[in-house]
Structure 1
Amino acid sequence: MTGRDASHTERPLLFLDVDGPLLPFGQDPQRAPRGTTPDARLAQLTFEVGRRLATLPCELIWATTWEEEANAEIAPRIGLPRLPVVSWPEPTDHHEREDQWFGLCWKTRTLVNWAGGHPFAWVDDEITDADKEWVAAHHSGRALLHHVESYRGLTDEDFTALDQWLRAL
């Protein structure tokens, strides 16, 4: 079973995390500390980020612990419409142990199931090589797992890489 239904387009999916990619946090070892209050982080959001996301040739989907709050708090601040949201299931002991053993991000299995074999890109600060290997072995469609440094957020280079990958499908 997937999170997709008949109303979804057949465009590739882009699973988008909030904390890290859109709201950078933590310290860049090369720079001075930045404000980390919630208001300071939300103030970093711009319509330019939303415009750039909206021009990517894909269906944007929130893949964040913010869940529906991403539509209430993030989407309006960056000029995006309400987006579909991945709901996270309660972890099972079996899958949790297996995922820890493989070194997987807790989101990986759910996103692959949600995509249901359709091409997808995933932007997150928690992606590792283990996630990339697991997706390659368990997802029948094309996938781009794009790691973003949590302290940096999405950059011009990230948008270029995503756009090129999505347009090459």
Structure 2
Amino acid sequence: MADLANSSLIFVDVDGPLIPFKARPVSRERSLGGAVVQPLDGTGNPLLDRLDPDDGRRLLALGCQLVWATTWMAEANEVISPRLGLPDLPVVEWPDDDEDPEHGLHWKTVFLTRWAAGRPFVWLDDEITDADRRWVAAHHPVRALLQRVDPYVGLTEADFSAVRRWLGQIDDAA
């Protein structure tokens, strides 16, 4: 496996990209005679059933250093990673200040750019805007892809294809 410490970063948000606002279609494995089988996870969070275990495999296949960029913070490693087959990932620890971001910027934008420390990065989030893209293009010295994910459907093959294209990988998914 390539040295991930020098590879591109992929910042991953949870709510919206991995846990879409709208329920995903139920797979055959999770249904039994038409009734949905709820996982016994003990978390009390019914939205975890919206996670797609294939997302973990597809994220790992990108060959980049994955980083949690979510308000779930360390809990993402405890709750989300095992369900997606991911190892414990680095977690962005958000600053505890009340400083408002520049007009139109997402509150994560400046901090993620600093966290990347000059490395190329992909940011998968459902709240990215053109203002964020313009700011990163003007303030980050290397390439960055800010991929807005539809929060109602979560990560799709189109999102993964966009990331693979950006990474220069051949899109061989059919």
- Shorter-chain TM-score: which interval? 0.7 to 0.9
Q: Is the Cα–Cα contact under 8 Å of residues 125 and 148 in structure 1 kept in the other structure?
A: yes
Q: Is the Cα–Cα contact under 8 Å of residues 13 and 69 in structure 2 kept in the other structure?
A: yes
Of 9, 14, 18, 2:10 maps to 14
Paired residue for 1:129? 130
Q: Is the Cα–Cα contact under 8 Å of residues 12 and 123 in structure 2 kept in the other structure?
A: yes
Deviations 1:112-158 (A, max 9, x none): 00001110000000100000000011110110000011111000111
* In 1: Cα distance, 2:151 partner to 2:97 partner: 24
Q: Report the identity percentage.
A: 54
1:92 Cα deviation from its structure 2 partner: 4.5
| 2:56 is equivalent to residue 47 of structure 1 | no
SS of 1:61's equivalent? strand
Q: Summarize the Cα distance change of 1:40–1:115 in structure 2 as closer, same or farther, 3 Å threshold.
A: same
Q: Is the Cα–Cα contact under 8 Å of residues 121 and 146 in structure 1 kept in the other structure?
A: yes
Deviations 1:5-61 (A, max 9, x none): xx961000000000000000169xxxxxxxxxx643211223211111110121100
1:100 Cα deviation from its structure 2 partner: 4.5
Report the RMSD for the aligned CA atoms in angstroms: 1.8
Q: Is the Cα–Cα contact under 8 Å of residues 4 and 63 in structure 2 kept in the other structure?
A: no
Which amino acid in the other structure matches residue 86 of structure 1? V
Write out the 4+ residue segments of structure 1 that deviate beyond 3 Å after TM superposition: none
| 2:72 is equivalent to residue 71 of structure 1 | no
* In 2: Cα distance, 1:39 partner to 1:70 partner: 13
Which sits farther off after the overlay, 82-91 or 45-54?
A: 45-54
* In 1: Cα distance, 2:141 partner to 2:94 partner: 21
Q: TM-score, normalised by structure 2?
A: 0.79
Aligned length, in residue pairs: 147
Q: Is the Cα–Cα contact under 8 Å of residues 18 and 52 in structure 2 kept in the other structure?
A: no
* In 2: Cα distance, 1:26 partner to 1:107 partner: 24
* In 2: Cα distance, 1:47 partner to 1:149 partner: 18
* In 2: Cα distance, 1:64 partner to 1:11 partner: 21
Deviations 1:66-99 (A, max 9, x none): 0000000000001000000000002353xx1xx2
Which amino acid in the other structure matches residue 155 of structure 2? L
Structure 1: which 5+ runs fail to align?
1-6, 28-37
Q: Is the Cα–Cα contact under 8 Å of residues 16 and 64 in structure 1 kept in the other structure?
A: yes
